């Protein structure tokens, strides 16, 4: 569902009024539908390196309409700007300004994707400068794009190249409607690990996945998305949410496990349930979370402790049990839900932001531990998402909050779920320790 304002300014007199007054003009975003093409229109692969050539060849193998040179006035579905051999900041000029001449030809909901190397893998300061320059370039360009178009970047660490499974997996994600509300973000491919799915419509086929906090909101959307992508599901929520949990579990043909994740035996209960039903466990999505907002000056121990207990201490304890288990060893994947509050901070949310910042710290430190098992761990940080929680924000505050991003609208629970489904898939096996924001590129804060 689009919000009322977006509907008003999308056509007729509403559109004219918004244009004249310089008001935000959000458009309906292109979202993934099974069976829909990956991207509509030609894909321009800009860049003259051998990495650009092999990437273009990989896209041709997906039957995309690939261009190596722009045809003037032709509407483009995407521009992929390959900058994998930058040595000095001056090297940016030619490829970037060449790509710039095609920006006016982007179709609505188009994509601009940079493919470059991580700055910290450079030896020379000039090379690091050129590589990190891509960061500022892409984030600014994403703010200039209009009509639902987004800009995102793929960073190659020393162990990855332009056709590593993680690079191609991230490219598919950014090109498709799965990334509709991801804008101005980077994903780093750290290794050549991972595998593209045999069936692109069922990337999670054969996987057993646990989703916590699945009775409603974002958790229920994650359950539906993982099910659509082929996973077998175990849904966890507190006993008080049992009826809703059972309803979602029925819908996705999964099983319900009524469990407070802050119990000390929660990890073992989850493993036992999965092994008893399916003999294995492949994916765990830590989504359950709570807020108990108060200014820090008015904070009490009850509010502080409950948020820390559910949002981060429970995840740490469950991960300890998972990593000690012989049943979580076959390319296991963990995805945690953080929040942009844990990155940029939010007034009245010191406890929540501490817990969500904690999720980010935990994810990064767990990379080597799960890596030993051939697995990965990542976080997704949602921004303003249209849920029951955000519907309770007073009208004026809510209206400002949902417009203050490059796409000028709130995201949907399904947008968060799409990012999680991608990071839980084997295509993202070479991506670990990342925090992917699903926030439409929030304009305030970090
Ligand atoms: P929600 O309150 O609608 O759903 C959370 C679910 O978690 C509920 O079903 C609840 O019963 C369950 N839960 C809570 N405590 C639990 C426990 N101890 N054990 C098991 N289950 C428990 O929230 P939501 O908006 O869907 O948020 C889901 C996640 O996304 C949370 O981690 C939240 O912090 C995060 N998030 C949400 C937004 C947003 O805009 N809605 C933004 C950023 C981050």
User: What is the average pLDDT score of the chain?
Assistant: 94
Q: What is the pTM of this model?
A: 0.95
Beta carbons within 10 angstroms of residue 163's beta carbon: 15
Residue whose pair of structure tokens reads 């060893």 in the numeric block: 329
Residue 212 CB less than 6 A away from ligand 1: yes
Residue 411 CB less than 6 A away from ligand 1: no
CA 124–ligand 1 middle distance (angstroms): 44
CA distance 145 to 152: 11
* Nearest residue to 316 via CA among 371, 401, 377, 255: 377
User: Do the interacting molecules here have an ipTM over 0.85?
Assistant: yes
* Nearest residue to 379 via CA among 345, 406, 419, 352: 419
Contacts of 328 (CB under 8 A, 6+ apart): 271, 281, 282, 284, 322, 373, 375
Contacts of 49 (CB under 8 A, 6+ apart): 82, 84, 85
Q: Give the atom of ligand 1 at the shortest distance from the alpha carbon of 213.
A: 7
Given ligand 1 and candidates 264, 288, 314, 445, which is best to mutate, with the most ligand atoms within 8 Å of its CB? 288
pLDDT in tens, 179-222: 999 999 999 999 999 999 999 999 999 999 999 999 999 999 99
Nearest CA to ligand 1 atom 6: 213
Q: Is the confidence at residue 134, as pLDDT, over 90?
A: yes
CA distance 430 to 164: 8
Residue 36 CB less than 6 A away from ligand 1: no
CA 237–ligand 1 middle distance (angstroms): 10
Given ligand 1 and candidates 225, 236, 289, 385, which is best to mutate, with the most ligand atoms within 8 Å of its CB? 289
Geometric angle at alpha carbon 223, from 218 and 227, rounded to 5°: 145
Our answer to whether residue 352 is catalytic in this structure is yes
CA distance 319 to 323: 6
What pLDDT was estimated at residue 395? 87
Query: Which candidate in 5, 32, 227, 352 is catalytic?
Result: 352
Contacts of 395 (CB under 8 A, 6+ apart): none
Nearest CA to ligand 1 atom 12: 213
Residue 176 CB less than 6 A away from ligand 1: no
Given ligand 1 and candidates 217, 335, 354, 438, which is best to mutate, with the most ligand atoms within 8 Å of its CB? 217
CA 309–ligand 1 middle distance (angstroms): 13
> pLDDT-derived band of residue 100, with 50, 70 and 90 as boundaries?
very high
CA 215–ligand 1 middle distance (angstroms): 9
Q: Percent of the chain at pLDDT above 70?
A: 97
pLDDT in tens, 341-399: 999 999 999 999 999 999 999 999 999 999 999 999 999 999 999 988 788 888 888 88
Q: Give the atom of ligand 1 at the shortest distance from the alpha carbon of 388.
A: 3
Exposure of 416 in the CB half-sphere (CA atoms within 13 A)? 30
């Amino acid at each position: 569902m689009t919000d009322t304002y977006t509907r008003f300014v999308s056509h007729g007199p509403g559109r004219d009024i918004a244009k004249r007054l310089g008001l935000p003009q959000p458009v309906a975003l292109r979202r993934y539908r099974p069976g829909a093409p990956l991207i509509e229109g030609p894909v321009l692969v800009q860049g003259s390196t051998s990495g650009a050539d092999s990437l273009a060849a990989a896209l041709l193998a997906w039957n995309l309409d690939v261009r190596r040179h722009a045809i003037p006035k032709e509407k483009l579905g995407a521009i992929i700007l390959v900058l994998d051999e930058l040595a000095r900041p001056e090297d940016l000029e030619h490829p970037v300004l060449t790509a710039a001449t095609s920006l006016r030809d982007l179709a609505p909901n188009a994509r601009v994707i940079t493919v470059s190397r991580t700055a910290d893998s450079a030896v020379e300061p000039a090379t690091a400068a050129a590589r990190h320059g891509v960061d500022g370039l892409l984030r600014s360009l994403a703010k200039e794009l209009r009509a639902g178009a987004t800009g995102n970047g793929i960073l190659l660490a020393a162990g990855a190249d332009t056709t590593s499974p993680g690079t191609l997996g991230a490219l598919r994600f950014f090109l498709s409607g799965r990334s509709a509300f991801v804008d101005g973000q980077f994903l780093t491919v750290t290794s050549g690990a991972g595998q593209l799915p045999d069936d692109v419509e069922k990337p999670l086929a054969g996987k057993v996945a646990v989703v916590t906090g699945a009775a409603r909101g974002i958790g229920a959307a994650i359950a539906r998305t993982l099910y659509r992508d082929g996973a077998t599901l175990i849904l966890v929520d507190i006993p008080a949410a049992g009826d809703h949990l059972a309803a979602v579990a029925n819908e996705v043909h999964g099983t319900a496990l009524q469990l407070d994740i802050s119990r000390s035996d929660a990890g073992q209960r989850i493993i036992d349930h999965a092994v008893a039903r399916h003999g294995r466990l492949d994916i765990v999505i830590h989504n359950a979370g709570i807020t108990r907002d108060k200014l820090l000056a008015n904070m009490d121990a009850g509010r502080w402790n409950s948020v820390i207990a559910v949002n981060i201490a429970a995840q740490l304890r469950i991960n300890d049990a998972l990593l000690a288990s012989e049943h979580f060893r076959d390319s296991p994947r963990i995805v945690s839900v953080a929040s942009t509050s844990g990155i940029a901070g939010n007034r009245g949310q010191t406890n929540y932001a501490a817990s969500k910042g904690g999720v980010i710290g935990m994810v990064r430190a767990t990379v080597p531990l799960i890596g030993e098992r051939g697995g990965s761990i990542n976080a997704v940080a949602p921004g303003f998402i249209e849920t029951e929680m955000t519907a309770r924000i007073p009208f004026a505050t809510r209206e400002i909050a949902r417009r203050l991003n490059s796409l000028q609208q709130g995201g949907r629970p399904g947008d968060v779920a799409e990012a999680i489904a991608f990071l839980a898939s084997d295509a993202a096996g070479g991506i670990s320790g990342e925090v992917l924001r699903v926030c439409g590129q929030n304009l305030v804060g970090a």
